[in-house]
């Protein structure tokens, strides 16, 4: 996680919805953007420029808010609405029927990473121009549920959602130092939806399969998981994840040192019913501190893992590695990624567009010392090198997730705002060149 938020500020707000139920609609800023992005800055988002309440849109009879002409931008989550102080940690997927599902953490009492935090969802039937009512997917009930990692199982069409839990009164530092009890510490859960996110099963714990006994911290994604489509592991559901481990016996360390972070893969070969660990990065030496992860399947069937480097001593803040066996092991060690040197210490998303010549995309802020200027980078050599494709905005921005809309358009769900990056979660439609 390592979200590095400010101190929580109280904002009790109205009551939250029941799990699986929609909230009464709150007006959102859903305005059109007319600019396009090719190696330049997208037109400034009117959703940010106009300010809160500038346009509430019009209901369309399906629970959605505010259809607009030629819409390229919308804001599904706004801080201070629907009973939540802050929305963070976005993830987005497209259903088999074309519905977009935007997930986020709904943080009740403040922007901090622990406390009363739910997993929430909005759905869009028009490619992200408008969004339906907010649904409570997993209720923290005073504790923390988050790090949503959703994927549709291609064999069944079922939505599989993996999330994490910890006690609301313990911090990441207390978990990493070993002070938290097993019940308070990070635990892993899976949920299912057979109606494209309209309703969800009760979270079922899978910690015993996902987390080694010596691990302390644990985080799935955040961002979308993937289903493999090629080779002997086609159909495998792959959730990129990270953890922290315990120091060796006799070590003077307490486990809160960044070098104890590592990344790993979590996968299922039966549609999410059972889970196994794949590769595990466990160097723990401090040069490269693997943290939040994302994954894409390349045209040749290899997996490309893109990983946050949490203050490692080697240059750069983004790491990458390949797997040729469906994520069970890495072909070589994680290494710094050429072309992503300006990305700060932050989560990022990767997406492989279809076709032999389809580019591999990466999204993340592009100022080394600040979470701002969100940029989409592209690689035409399978992650060997990256170059900027489109600067989405010069505004503050942090976590993001990419989704394919069609062969020439991607969607980007990302944290942004005027004064800081956690004021809204915005959705942008962005054209991408094919060559």
Residue 172: C-alpha distances to residues 30, 185, 402 (Å):
35, 9, 26
* Alpha helices (H) along 329-428: none
Res 114: pLDDT: 95
Cα–Cα distance for residue pair 58/72, rounded to 1 Å = 17
**Euclidean distance between the first and final Cα of the chain, in Å?**
35
pLDDT at 54 > cutoff 90: no
Other CB atoms within 10 Å distance of the CB of residue 202 = 10
> What's the pLDDT at 435?
59
- Mean pLDDT value of segment 355-378: 95
Q: Is the pLDDT of residue 38 over 90?
A: no
- Radius of gyration (Cα) for the chain, nearest Å? 20
pLDDT by residue (tens digit) across 146-202?
A: 999 999 999 999 999 999 999 999 999 999 999 999 999 999 999 999 999 999 999
**Residue 65 pLDDT level (bands cut at 50, 70, 90):** very low
Do strands 73-78 and 86-94 pair parallel, antiparallel, or not at all (unpaired)? unpaired
Helix (H) or strand (E) holding 193: strand 187-193
**Whole-angstrom Cα distance, residue 365 to residue 97?**
31
Q: Residue 334: pLDDT above 90?
A: yes
Q: How far apart are CA 90 and CA 77, in angstroms?
A: 10
Q: Dig out the tokens for 398 from the structure.
A: 């942090």
CATH code for the structural domain at 73-431: 2.120.10.10
Q: Does 74 score more than 60 pLDDT?
A: yes
Complete edge-to-edge strand list for the sheet that includes strand 290-297: 290-297, 303-309, 318-323, 335-336
The pLDDT confidence band at residue 288, using thresholds 50, 70 and 90, is very high
Output 265 or 316, whichever has higher pLDDT.
265
Q: What digits encode the pLDDT tens for the residues 266-275?
A: 999 999 999 9
Q: How confident is the model at residue 42 (pLDDT cuts 50, 70, 90)?
A: low
Q: Could you tell me the maximum CA-CA distance found in the chain, to the nearest angstrom?
A: 64
pLDDT (tens digit per residue) in 383-418: 999 999 999 999 999 999 999 998 889 999 999 999
Return d(Cα 135, Cα 126) in angstroms, integer: 18
Q: Backbone dihedral region of 231: left (phi > 0), alpha (psi from -120 to 50 degrees) or beta? A: left
Q: Is the pLDDT of residue 422 over 60?
A: yes
pLDDT tens digits for range 241-250:
999 999 999 9
Please give the pLDDT value at position 70.
Answer: 66
Tens digit of pLDDT for each residue in 92-132?
Answer: 999 999 999 999 999 999 999 999 999 999 999 999 999 99
> What pLDDT is stored for residue 433 in this prediction?
78
Is the distance from CB of 221 to CB of 149 less than 8 angstroms?
yes
Reduced DSSP (H G I as helix, E B as strand, rest coil) percent helix, strand, coil of the chain, to 5: 5, 40, 55
Is 61's pLDDT higher than 50? no
> Is pLDDT at 434 greater than 80 in this prediction?
no
pLDDT for 25 beyond 90: no
DSSP letter at 46 equals: H
pTM above 0.75, yes or no: yes
Q: How high is the pLDDT of residue 4?
A: 52
In the chain, pLDDT over 90 holds for what percent of residues? 80
* Confidence at residue 408, expressed as pLDDT on a 0 to 100 scale: 86
pLDDT of the residue at 185: 98
């Amino acid at each position: 996680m390592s979200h590095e938020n400010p101190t929580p500020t109280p904002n009790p707000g109205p009551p939250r919805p029941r799990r699986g139920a929609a909230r009464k609609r709150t007006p959102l800023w859903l305005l059109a953007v007319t600019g396009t992005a090719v190696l330049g800055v997208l037109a400034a988002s009117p959703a940010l420029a106009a300010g809160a309440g500038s346009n509430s849109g019009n209901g369309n009879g399906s629970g959605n808010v505010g259809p607009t002409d030629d819409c390229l931008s919308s804001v599904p989550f706004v801080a201070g609405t629907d009973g939540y102080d802050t929305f963070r940690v976005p993830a987005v997927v497209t259903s088999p029927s074309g519905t977009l599902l935007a997930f986020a953490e709904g943080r009740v009492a403040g922007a901090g990473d622990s406390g009363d935090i739910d997993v929430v969802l909005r759905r869009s039937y028009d490619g992200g121009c408008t969004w339906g009512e907010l649904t409570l997917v997993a209720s923290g009930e005073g504790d923390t549920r988050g790090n949503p990692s959703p994927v549709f199982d291609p064999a069944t069409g079922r939505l599989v959602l993996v999330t994490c839990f910890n006690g609301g009164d313990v911090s990441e530092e207390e978990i990493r130092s070993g002070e938290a009890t097993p019940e308070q510490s990070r635990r892993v859960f899976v949920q299912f939806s057979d109606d494209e996110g309209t309703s969800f099963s009760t979270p079922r714990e899978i910690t015993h399969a996902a987390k080694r006994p010596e691990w302390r911290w644990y985080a799935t994604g955040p961002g979308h998981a993937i289903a493999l489509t090629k080779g002997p592991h086609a159909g495998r559901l792959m959730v990129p994840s990270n953890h922290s481990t315990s120091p060796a016996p006799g070590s003077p360390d307490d486990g809160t040192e960044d070098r104890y972070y590592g990344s790993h893969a979590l996968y299922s070969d039966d549609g999410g019913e059972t889970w196994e660990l794949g590769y595990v990065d466990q160097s723990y030496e401090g040069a490269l501190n693997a943290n939040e992860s994302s994954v894409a399947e390349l045209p040749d069937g290899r997996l490309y893992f893109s990983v946050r480097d949490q203050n490692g001593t080697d240059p750069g803040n983004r790491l990458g590695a390949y797997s040729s066996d469906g994520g069970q092991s890495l072909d070589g060690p994680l290494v710094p990624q050429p072309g992503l040197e300006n990305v700060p210490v932050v989560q990022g998303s990767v997406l492989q567009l279809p076709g032999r010549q389809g580019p591999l995309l990466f999204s993340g802020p592009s100022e080394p010392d600040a979470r701002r200027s969100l940029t989409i980078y592209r690689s035409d050599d399978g992650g060997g090198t990256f170059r900027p494709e489109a600067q989405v905005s010069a505004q503050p921005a942090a976590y993001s997730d990419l989704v394919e809309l069609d062969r020439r358009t991607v969607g980007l769900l990302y944290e942004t705002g005027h004064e800081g990056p956690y004021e809204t979660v915005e959705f942008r439609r962005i054209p991408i060149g094919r060559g």
